[in-house]
Amino acid sequence: MKLINGIEIAQQVRDDLIPRIDALRKKQIVPGLGVILVGDDPASQSYVGMKGKAFDSMGLFSETIHLPAESSQAEVLELIASLNRNPQFHGILVQLPVPKHLDSTAIIQAISAEKDADGIHPTNLGKMMLGVECPLPCTPHGILMLLKYSGIDPAGRHVVVAGRSNIVGKPIASLLMQKRPLGNATVTVCHTRTQNIREITRQADILIAAMGQPELIDRSFVKPGVVVIDVGSNRIDDPGSKKGYRWVGDVKFEEVAEIAAAITPVPGGVGPMTIAMLLANTVFLAEHSTQNQ
């Protein structure tokens, strides 16, 4: 069994960005990201902190604007508009989820497609579907890079995506089926309402687990020799640990690892890749902003 180490591969992605960042610096351009955090959700604060550290480590500019949880839709949209106009910010990201009284769809659409660091603006998702160059959704793009740097070519293989979210399931299915490098796969999408789901997942040469169900996927869901990409990040109670909880994926790691050809751990698998691809998207947007000037 091969352990697909997301921490190591994320570092390779960062290393590949260095020449591009240096080329921008020669033009007096420092790729910049504006992050909007609404409210005080601890997980969101942690994610935003990790993103800030990643940008600092690469010598890139990032700024987090923290709004109170009770901020109105108009206040959030006004802030986005100001960041859209500010040339210091090549990318904008609104940390999700936002408080329930806010319309996240309208907020995402308010971000300029040319500054969409998360790759989830409708314009960019449409370009992605057509195979047109654009910033790709960070987690799906990170999954592709995990496969690339692990020497796993999905072409001609049966990929089963367990999960249909707009953030992971739908975009990774679209990318993998396209006629492109790291594509050309036969893709099946299943979800919590799929009947006989085990019969489908056991057909997978590559299984991408993104259902948000802690340790749902056990060895009965997979065939020997499968490649497993576990996107899940679930906090479960664990009285035996110092913190009283631990993080697990959607896959029962120890069970499935016994028969898998390759598998990602949680933590340390897909998570670091999502942040690495946010860096990559911000660099991409900075490069394209100079081309449009």
Q: How far apart are CA 66 and CA 37, in angstroms?
A: 5
- Structural domains of the chain sorted by starting position, each given as residue range(s) with its CATH number in brackets: 29-112 (3.40.50.10860), 138-271 (3.40.50.720)
Active-site residue, 53 included: no
Is the pLDDT assigned to residue 254 strictly greater than 60? Answer: yes
Under DSSP, the state recorded for 68 is P
Quickly list H helices, the chain: 6-25, 42-57, 73-85, 104-110, 122-130, 138-149, 169-177, 197-201, 253-257, 270-291
List 15, 16, 88, 95, catalytic entry: 95
Mean pLDDT of the chain: 95
- The answer, yes or no, to whether residue 105 has pLDDT greater than 80, is yes
pLDDT score of 292 more than 60: no
Q: Which residue has the higher pLDDT, 127 or 290?
A: 127
pLDDT at 115 over 90: yes
Catalytic residue among 16, 40, 45, 51: 51
What six digits make up the tokens of 276? 């690495």
The average pLDDT across 133-157 equals 98
Residue 118 has pLDDT above 80, yes or no: yes
Of 194, 208, 202, the closest CA to residue 221 belongs to 202
Q: What is the pLDDT of residue 152?
A: 98
Alpha-carbon gap, residue 281 to 276, rounded angstroms: 9
Residues 6 or more apart from 157 whose CB is under 8 A from it?
Answer: 185, 186, 205, 206
Nearest to 151 by CA among 280, 262, 16, 279: 262
Indicate the range of 90-99, 189-198, 235-244, 279-288 predicted with least confidence: 235-244
User: Please, which pLDDT band fits residue 247 given cuts at 50, 70 and 90?
Assistant: confident
DSSP track, 145-185: HHHHHTT---TTSEEEEE---TTTHHHHHHHHHSSSTT---
pLDDT score for 238? 86
- Report d(CA 293, CA 290) in Å as an integer: 5
pLDDT at 197 over 90: yes
Confidence of residue 87 (pLDDT cuts 50, 70, 90): very high
Strand, helix or coil for residue 213:
coil
Q: Answer yes or no: 95 catalytic.
A: yes
pLDDT over 70, % of the chain: 99
pLDDT-derived band of residue 291, with 50, 70 and 90 as boundaries?
A: low
Nearest CA-CA partner of 187 in 202, 199, 177: 177
| 230 Cβ contact list (under 8 Å, min separation 6) | 209, 217, 249, 250, 251, 253, 263, 264, 265, 266, 269, 270
Tokens for 110, please give them.
Answer: 């308010």
pLDDT at 253: 97
Looking at residues 122-144, what average pLDDT do you find? 97
Catalytic residue among 26, 73, 88, 118: 118
Answer yes or no: is pLDDT of 290 > 80. no
The strands making up 227-230's β-sheet, listed across from edge to edge, are 2-3, 262-263, 227-230, 206-209, 158-162, 186-190
Give the side-chain half-sphere CA count within 13 A for 115. 25
| pLDDT score for 293 | 52
Identity of the amino acid at 33 = L
Q: CA-based angle 11:12:16, to the nearest 5?
A: 115
- Render pLDDT for 15-33 as a digit per residue (tens, 0 to 9): 999 999 999 999 999 999 9
Residue 79 sits at φ, ψ, to 5 deg, of -65, -45
> CB-based contacts of 251: which residues, under 8 Å, 6+ apart?
209, 215, 216, 217, 218, 228, 230, 232, 263, 266
In the structure, what pLDDT confidence band is assigned to residue 240 with cuts at 50, 70 and 90? confident
Q: Please say if 15 is a catalytic residue.
A: no
